Structure 1
């Protein structure tokens, strides 16, 4: 078994082996224990549910790689969705045209990008801890959204928007295609662009990155701005799926995005991680939820098991790290 794990680590990377083992384990367990698990309905459900959590996880990913975090991802997404909803309502609501939706998308991206940029500026220039800054931003965005909507929701959009949330293209759900495009974009960013190298350097050692000549402040502002833009994409997808927008949509996803990132091999302290293992980890979490649903388990049990999985992953990673260090000493 050890030789098999070593070969997998050498071929796929140490961060990919864990998610793949978890994927195989989930497929075997629910393939045996759940009726009709291997069916088009199951995998279709996963394909439609994956993008919302996946896009928010991508928004969380870049800050985590710098050694930070973005606790405001869900509320940034919702506020961006609200901006899009108000533009649509200002241009006819249910009778709005495709041009109005284009303006709404621009408004959503501008809102998400601005929220992210404000966060990045505060972190980069005040050097306050990202947890404190993003927690403050989360509270601010939530309060602002509830003030502007009075705790209600905004609905009444053109029928063609439902295609973005529920339609299919070439047999694949449109939200999934958008998510896959974003996965590819993030993969290229981390592997082909200087920004990807720079943010990993910051995550490894921000002082060393600064002394090596990197503009760490600029990179941090860009990282959180990109995080906000990805939140806006998630907000548009949620708007299309629910045909409404409210401040609390997707609130439960916040900690799950962190779980998915850590399950995908992201270093909690920053400096190391890839997009593809995180993508596999997201599939594992969605299959776990669907499998439990087929077995008649309460959805809250899936959330509880996600928490247990997070503890197991962190414990296993700590044990494996300690074992590797003890082997080096001997």
Structure 2
């Protein structure tokens, strides 16, 4: 085995092609507009990507298990509403760090509870994850609209801006949060028994049961963890925008699925790695920012994302044909 093959096997077969494409996109937009390489634009991308990245991680693990979590946006929003409510109870703009920490714990509890309920129904009732998560999405959206009457909640302590807009040694705090979450996801999927169980369930849940894995417990934990990372995304959104709204970020739902598939996550479960998904997120962010800088219509980026997915699938199919042959004599 060559050094290239060993590197490709270690990083994942999707990583190197995505890395090459990321370099190509970066170079193309750098040549297309001088604004792309400015510190302001790079900083803007670094602040924009983390929320989408956290929501993508929340979507990734259910897909790896052969399921789906359509409720991620509203889990994040309701968790953000929970934090907002706690802050308001402690004085709103005058609330202290203790109130914020208490609100974060409450927000994470809401995200975890909603995820655990979905996981319990999927695991013990046997309902399809799409139907279960769709029902949870509708419930959380309706609950949020009822609690807020469809409006925004704002007016929070100024120190929250440090989380949403601050830097540590020049690195945006939201990017650090996402980087830490991605590292935890990588370790969880590659170094823990739970990660092994996730892949096994996604590959063949019946075989996993016969092999002695606690599939029901694992499924419940999968959706619970997904809910927790949604809560983190909701907290980050509140600190970024200094407001909470139930429908905030609805357009990101399908983008998270797109990022997972671009990153090589098998839509039927059982295969996928964190690093290629992170690279896919970087590419999507560069495409969005680059097209905006060259004056393209804001809706064009969505079309380009779709074309990019089609191109990637075509290249994977072609690569498979070239590597393994046509199967004909």
Please state which band the TM-score falls in when normalised by the shorter chain.
over 0.9
Alpha-carbon spacing, 1:314–1:128, altered in 2? closer, same or farther (3 Å): farther
- The CA deviation string for residues 257-304 of structure 1, in whole angstroms up to 9 with x for no partner, is 011111111111110111111111111111111111110112221122
Partner of 2:65 in structure 1?
Answer: 66
Partner of 2:233 in structure 1?
Answer: 234
Partner of 2:51 in structure 1?
Answer: 52
Partner of 1:167 in structure 2?
Answer: 166
Check conservation: 2:12, 2:273, Cα contact below 8 A.
no
- The CA deviation string for residues 119-154 of structure 1, in whole angstroms up to 9 with x for no partner, is 111111121111111111111111111111110111
Partner of 2:180 in structure 1?
Answer: 181
Alpha-carbon spacing, 1:288–1:295, altered in 2? closer, same or farther (3 Å): same
- The CA deviation string for residues 189-223 of structure 1, in whole angstroms up to 9 with x for no partner, is 01111000000000000000010000100000000
Mapped partners of 1:121, 1:229: distance in 2: 15
Alpha-carbon spacing, 1:37–1:281, altered in 2? closer, same or farther (3 Å): same
Partner of 2:104 in structure 1?
Answer: 105
List runs of 5+ in structure 2 lacking aligned partners: none
Q: Once superposed, what is the RMSD of the aligned Cα atoms?
A: 1.8
Displacement after TM superposition at 1:318 (Å):
3.7
Partner of 1:96 in structure 2?
Answer: 95
List runs of 5+ in structure 1 lacking aligned partners: none
- 34-43 or 320-329: which moved more? 320-329
Alpha-carbon spacing, 1:189–1:158, altered in 2? closer, same or farther (3 Å): same
- 128-137 or 10-19: which moved more? 10-19
Mapped partners of 2:7, 2:104: distance in 1: 42
Partner of 1:288 in structure 2?
Answer: 287
Alpha-carbon spacing, 1:289–1:4, altered in 2? closer, same or farther (3 Å): farther
Partner of 2:152 in structure 1?
Answer: 153
Partner of 1:206 in structure 2?
Answer: 205
Alpha-carbon spacing, 1:263–1:215, altered in 2? closer, same or farther (3 Å): same
Check conservation: 2:151, 2:245, Cα contact below 8 A.
yes
Mapped partners of 1:86, 1:141: distance in 2: 16
Check conservation: 1:5, 1:17, Cα contact below 8 A.
no
Mapped partners of 1:321, 1:209: distance in 2: 28
- Note if 1:262 corresponds to 2:231: no
- The CA deviation string for residues 92-135 of structure 1, in whole angstroms up to 9 with x for no partner, is 10100110001100011000000100111111112111111111
Mapped partners of 2:19, 2:39: distance in 1: 21
In the superposition, the TM-score normalised over structure 1's length comes to 0.95
Displacement after TM superposition at 1:12 (Å):
3.5
Secondary structure, aligned partner of 2:14 = helix
Mapped partners of 1:10, 1:211: distance in 2: 29
Check conservation: 1:35, 1:295, Cα contact below 8 A.
no
For 1:76-95, what aligned pairs fall within 5 Å after superposition? 76-95=75-94
**How many residue pairs are counted as aligned between the two chains?**
328
